[in-house]
Amino acid sequence: MKKFLSFSRPVPRWVILILDLVITGFSFTLSYFVVKQFQFSEILRGHFFVYTILYCFISLPVFYCMRIHTGMLRFSNVYDMMRISLAVLITGVLYPIAVVFLVNREYHINSLNISGVLLINFFFSCTLHMMLRSMVRGFYYYVKQNAIVLKENVLIFGSDTEAMLVKQAIESSITNKFVIAGFVENDINKANVSIQQKKVYHIRELPLLKTKKKIDKLILMNEQLDSKDKKVVIEKCLQFGIKVLTVPPSDQWIYGKLSLKQIQELRIEDLLQREPIIINNEQISGELTGKRILITGAAGSIGSEIVRQVLSFKPEMVVLCDQAESPLHEIQLEMEEKFPESDIKIFIGNIRDRNRLQIPFREYRPNFVFHAAAYKHVPMMEKHPSEAILTNVMGTKIVADLSVLYNVHKFVMISTDKAVNPTNVMGTSKRIAEMYVQSLSSVADNLVDQTIMGLINGDAKNATIGKTKFITTRFGNVLGSNGSVIPRFRQQIQQGGPVTVTHPEITRYFMTIPEAVQLVLEAAIMGKGAEIFVFDMGKPVKIVDLALKMIRLAGLTPDEDVKIVYSGLRPGEKLYEELLNEKEKTLPTHHEKIKIAKIIPCSHKVVRDIEELINMSRLEDNYGIVKKMKELVPEFKSKNSQYEKLDLQLNKAYTAAAD
C-alpha cells in the first residue's frame, strides 16, 4: 500500500478521459430513461442509441479541449468541479444544434424532449463526475492515513483560509505523518462547527483533546506569533504538554506548496519576539545607499546581521572584516548568493594589528564603520583580562584612530549593557572602549592622539579633526547569538538534561538579532556624534523561566523528563543587568525604542591612562591590569571573582587618603 501511495506516476490521462466518457454516456442514458419514464419499448423505437452516441461524440472533444482529464483525481478541488460543470454546459449548448442538423435531417426523427433530457443530464453528469473525484480523493486520504504506522494527531490553530490551506497542504503530502484532528479557536462563536469534515474546538477543550484524541502537537502560522490570542494558545499548549509547530506564511511556500520540512518546532526565540520595530527605511537608505561601509566582526552574530541589512540598502561597497576564516567564508557565500550585484570585499585581519587593519581603510576609504568585533564571554575574559584589553580596548582604539585618520563620516560602536556598573572584566573593557570613543568626539582629545596616529604612516596631517562622528549603541543579550544561553539550553535538553542555570533569580534583557541591528542602523543615522544610544530592551526575563519554557516547548515536563540544576554564579556574573549608570540619564529621540544616555564627562587624562593600560596588558600582569581598570572605571566592582580583594584594597586606600 505504501508503495502504491508513493508511486509518483499518475493514472494515464487517456484512462481518465475514458472514465469521464463512460460517466457522460451513463448520465445521458439515465436522463433519457427518466424523460421516457423507463418505457423501454418506446425508448428503443425513439432511436435511443443515435441520440446517446451523438451526445458522447460531442462531449469527447469538449472535455478534451477543456483538459478535464489532465488533473490528478486525488487532488481535485472546487476549481476542477467548476470546469466540469462548464464542460457539461457547453456540451448541452452544442448538442441541440447537432440534433437539428444531423439527427432530424438525416434520420427524419424528432421523438425526444431535448431540453428535458439536457436539464436532467446536467445535474446527473456534474454529480457523477464530482462523485468520482471525491471518492478517489477520499479513498486516497483514507488509505494513506491508515497505511502510516506512526501517526501524530495534530490540531490547527484558526479556522480561516490560511488554516484551510495548511490542512489541505498537509493532507496532500505523500510523506505526511500527521492526522488532522480538528481546528482550535479562542472565539466561542467559531467553536462547535465543522469545516471540511473537521470540528472546530474551543481552547478550553485542549486538556480533554490531549487525553481523548491523544493530541501531540498544534500547528500555527508563525507570521502571527505576536498576536495576543496566539500567545494564549501557546501558553495553554505548554501547560498541557502539547508541542507547538509553526509553518511559514503561504506566500513563502516552496513553489506554492507547503513542504513538510517547512513545518518547524516553535523556538523560544519566536516566543520572546515583541511587536515589530518600525524604522525609517527611507532615511537609512538615503544615508547608506551608494556609500562604502566597513564592518568589523562581520562573521559574528551581530556583524553578519549588519552585513545582511546594510546590503539591502544598496551601498557602493561593503567590506567584511574578521579574523575567523570559515565563518567569514560562509557569510561571503550567503551574501554573494542573495546580493549578486553588490560589491562585497572580504578582508581577513585582526583589529589588534594596526598595520594590517590600515589596508582596507587606505584602499577602500569607507564612509561608515560599524565596529562589532569584540570578546564578549564574561567568564573567559575574567581569566584573561589582558586579552579583553588588547581586543576590546586597543582593537577599538585602532579602528577609531584609523576612522579619524581616513576621514570616516560615522563610526558606530556596538557596546553592551554589561558596560554599565560593571562587575566583570569584559563589561569594564567595553566601558573603557566607550570612554575612548567618547573622548575622540572632543577636539581636545583628538589632538592628544595625533602623535600616535602620525606614527602609522606620517599622514596625520590629512585627517580632519572632529570630522568623524562617533556613536555608541548599547543593548543587552541577543537571542540565538553564538555562545548565548539559548543554544546551550537547547543542547542540554536534547541530551536529556540537566539544564544548568546559574541562579534562580538571575534575569537578563533579550532582543532578537535583526531587531537589535535595525535599531543600530536607526541610531547610526540619527547620531550627530558623541552619543550613547540605549535601546528599549523590554522587560527582563528570568533565566529559569526561559529554561522552563524551552523544556515545555520540547514536549517535556520540567523536573520529570529534564531537571534544572543551579550551578552558582560564574566569575564576574551579576544577577541583574543595567542599561544606564546611576549618573546617566536619558533623553528621548524620535524613535520610541531608542534613547540617548547623558554622557558622563571623560577627563583629558583618559587617553593617556588607556594607553598605559594597553602597555600593561602586554606584560600579562592580571592583577595590575584589573587594578588599573578599576581606577579608570571607579564603578567597577568585581563580583564572584578573584579580583574582589582589589576592591577591598582600593577602599582601604581611599579611606586612608580621606583621613
Q: What is the pLDDT of residue 448?
A: 41
Work out the angle at residue 638's Cα, subtended by the Cα atoms of residues 637 and 643, and round it to the nearest 5 degrees.
125
Q: In CATH, what number does 281-617 get?
A: 3.40.50.720
CB 261 within 8 A of CB 237: no
- Domain 148-266 fold: Rossmann fold (3.40.50)
pLDDT tens, residue by residue, 366-378: 999 999 999 999 8
Residue 453 pLDDT class (50, 70, 90 cuts): very low
Percent of the chain with pLDDT over 90: 26
Would you kindly state where each structural domain of the chain is located, as residue ranges?
2-144, 148-266, 281-617
In angstroms, rounded to a whole number, what is the distance separating the alpha carbons of residues 640 and 388?
A: 18
The DSSP bridge pattern shows strands 594-597 and 586-588 to be antiparallel
- pLDDT at residue number 2: 46
Q: Give residue-wise pLDDT tens across range 44-53.
A: 655 767 777 7
Q: Decide if 148-266 and 281-617 have a common fold.
A: yes
- Mean pLDDT is lowest, of 165-174, 369-378, 385-394, for 165-174
What Rg, from alpha-carbon coordinates, does the chain have? Answer: 36
Instruction: Output 12 or 428, whichever has higher pLDDT.
Output: 428
- Distance (Å) of CA 442 to CA 392, 446, 468, 601: 21, 6, 11, 11
| Dist. CA 474–CA 535, nearest whole Å | 7
pLDDT at 260 over 70: no
586-625 per-position pLDDT tens digit = 777 778 778 887 766 666 678 889 999 999 998 889 999 9
Separation CA 249–CA 166 (nearest Å): 10
